[in-house]
Amino acid sequence: MARYDDLPPLPGALVPGPATEVWASKDWMWDASRWMDEVLERRGVTRDATTPKQPTLTPWFTRLVADTDHGRVRMVAGLPETTSESVLMGHLATVVPDAVPSIWAADRERRWFLMPAESGSLREVETEESRLSLMSGVLRRYAGIQRASAAVADDMVRDGVLKLTPGDIVKQWRRLGLSPNHWSALSSTARRLEELGLPLTVQHDDLRSGTVLADGTTAGLTKARITEWMHAYVGHPLLSLYEPLRATTEGLDDAAAAEARARLLRAYSSGWGDALGSSVLHRAVDDALLLGRMSRVLSWRRALTRGSDTELRSWGRTGAALIREVEEILDGQRQA
């Protein structure tokens, strides 16, 4: 894990430090508010002087919300070590304009962008009874977004979006010294996924109800917009399945989990049309979920690049748990 004090200062900071300390500082808030005002002024919009507020502050991004005479707006700042959301969403908007929130302005160098504040994440309307049905609709929609994104995948990479193939993920895993007894098996897993012949697409890597803007109706899900792309990259599309399958089946007994998984996979496959048959997906899904776990570990490492020692101990537990899961799966495959 790279230490923040070995890195250049974050935009808006004079000296290196944990991202949360920088983003919470009065100097940074003043600089961000000034930039926000400049953008709003060009649009003929005036900010309420009692705002912005800072409802979200994490080691990898912060969110400011301000009231204006034209409604509420939201500013997001991210790390240079994670994906530039404004770049990625800009490219997605050229092929699926209604799939991402609209951005009013962006400062690519500082990883800042401003947009109208939208409420109504799926998390706010889902219930235990509706969760499976809603996520099925999300996966059908998301698969269509992925399929469309293949047309701009190369453009995204040229514009700085990270590219990670299954083979790249295994190589990074090896460089970290993880799973030393299973490198051959992991290489075979990556090769099987790559041999499916699916194009490289956007891979959100954190698709869940909290990152989906939709009203929970069937019609609303067909127009759902996806947010929080800071962990995303261009990679194998099936790795996106890990997080939604985990979140939707967590806490279910084995029979219910198997039924839910089958339904989610059918929905996802239908979003790809004839490009991904359900039989192919069912054969490949375990490989995808294994590398999906590994991908999440690598995302956590990027996200915590500028975390404080306390934040590393707290947030790092998720990555450590995933590493243990990967080891258990690989050990089980060896013994089978």
281-310 residue pLDDT tens: 988 999 999 999 999 999 999 999 999 999
Report the Cα–Cα distance between both ends of the chain, in Å, rounded: 34
Same domain, 112 and 126: no
pLDDT of 1 reads: 43
Same domain, 144 and 189: yes
Q: For tokens 């998984």, what's the residue?
A: 261
What is the b/e burial string over 128-137, where b = at least 16 CB atoms within 10 angstroms of the residue's CB?
A: eeebbebbbb
104-162 residue pLDDT tens: 999 999 999 999 998 789 999 999 999 999 999 999 999 999 999 999 999 999 999 99
pLDDT of 4 reads: 61
Instruction: For residue 18, give the CATH number of its domain.
Output: 3.30.200
Q: Which of 232, 233, 162, 235 is nearest to 194 (CA)?
A: 235
Same domain, 84 and 98: yes
- Which domain, by its residues, includes 33? 4-116
Same domain, 211 and 104: no
Same domain, 128 and 271: yes
Q: 320 has which bridge partners?
A: none
Lowest-pLDDT range of 40-49, 255-264, 292-301, 327-336: 327-336
The phi-psi region of residue 225 (left if phi > 0; otherwise alpha if psi is between -120 and 50; otherwise beta) is beta
Strand, helix or coil for residue 230:
coil
Please give the average per-residue pLDDT across 38-50, as a whole number: 95
Q: Which of 228, 54, 244 is nearest to 140 (CA)?
A: 244
Same domain, 208 and 235: yes
Q: Are strands 163-164 and 233-235 parallel, antiparallel or unpaired?
A: parallel
Same domain, 71 and 138: no
Number of domains forming the structure of the chain: 2
Same domain, 195 and 319: yes
Same domain, 63 and 135: no
Count CB atoms within 10 A of the CB of residue 197. Answer: 8
Q: What pTM was computed for the model? A: 0.94
Same domain, 42 and 75: yes
pLDDT of 20 reads: 96
Same domain, 65 and 106: yes
Instruction: Tell which of 101, 116, 131 closes a domain.
Output: 116
Instruction: For residue 229, give the CATH number of its domain.
Output: 3.90.1200.10
Same domain, 108 and 147: no
Q: For tokens 């748990």, what's the residue?
A: 321
Residue 233 DSSP code:
E
Instruction: Tell which of 67, 87, 116 closes a domain.
Output: 116
Instruction: Tell which of 91, 116, 141 closes a domain.
Output: 116
